[in-house]
Amino acid sequence: MDILLNAANAALLVAHDLRREVEVGLLLLGPPDPPRFVRLEGFRLRSYQPDIRSNAALVRRALQDASRIERETSPGVFGSKTTFEEALDRLGPAFVYAKEGGTDIRQASLPADATFVFSDNQDLTQAEEQALTDRGVLVLGLGPLALHTDHAIAIVQNELDRRQL
């Protein structure tokens, strides 16, 4: 949960504001009742804080009694039972997958309005990578070392800001 909440903060927050144009999808595949998908819409969020403990409460509420039909459990926070592939298709193309060894971000041509995919401390499975390949993914490298997910997201956000994408 900490990894997910820190990743969401890196995607959504700047020093004194929220990135309202950002949409975050968190996919939880652990027990007891996977898959659970929590979607955060920057422009609708009302009580989102830099403090991950209060955001954990928002996410926990979205995880309760989830069904396949998405439900808004607090402003800008949506919960559902959604698989990896369905989550990709809900967020939509173009897809960019951050992975060590991918095309160097400094040389890559980045699509506008893309869905960026990051793993947590476990790499994506072969089947998940195949789902991305089937959707024409660009595999993006961010540097020579394996970084924490939130730090990887901050690098991507900075590059998108620089290019105004």
Ligand X SMILES: C[S@@+](CC[C@H](N)C(=O)[O-])C[C@H]1O[C@@H](n2cnc3c(N)ncnc32)[C@H](O)[C@@H]1O
Find tokens 């980045």 and name the residue.
110
Residue among 6 and 119 whose Cβ is closer to ligand X: 119
Question: Is 154 a binder of ligand X (CB under 6 A)?
Answer: no
User: What CA–CA distance (Å, rounded) separates 12 from 97?
Assistant: 18
Alpha helices of the chain — where are they, by DSSP H?
Answer: 2-12, 52-63, 84-91, 126-134, 149-163
Name the residue type at position 163.
Answer: R
Question: Is 119 a binder of ligand X (CB under 6 A)?
Answer: yes
Residue among 70 and 85 whose Cβ is closer to ligand X: 85
Question: Is 165 a binder of ligand X (CB under 6 A)?
Answer: no
Shortest CB 16 distance to ligand X, Å: 26
Shortest CB 4 distance to ligand X, Å: 12
Shortest CB 111 distance to ligand X, Å: 17
Instruction: Pick out residues in 90-109 that bind ligand X (CB under 6 A).
Output: 98-100, 102
Shortest CB 23 distance to ligand X, Å: 18
User: What CA–CA distance (Å, rounded) separates 140 from 49?
Assistant: 29
Buried b (16+ CB within 10 A) or exposed e, 113-140: ebbbbbbbeeebeeebbebbeebebbbb
Residues lying near ligand X in the complex (CB under 6 A): 98-100, 102, 118-119, 121, 123, 141-143, 145-149, 152
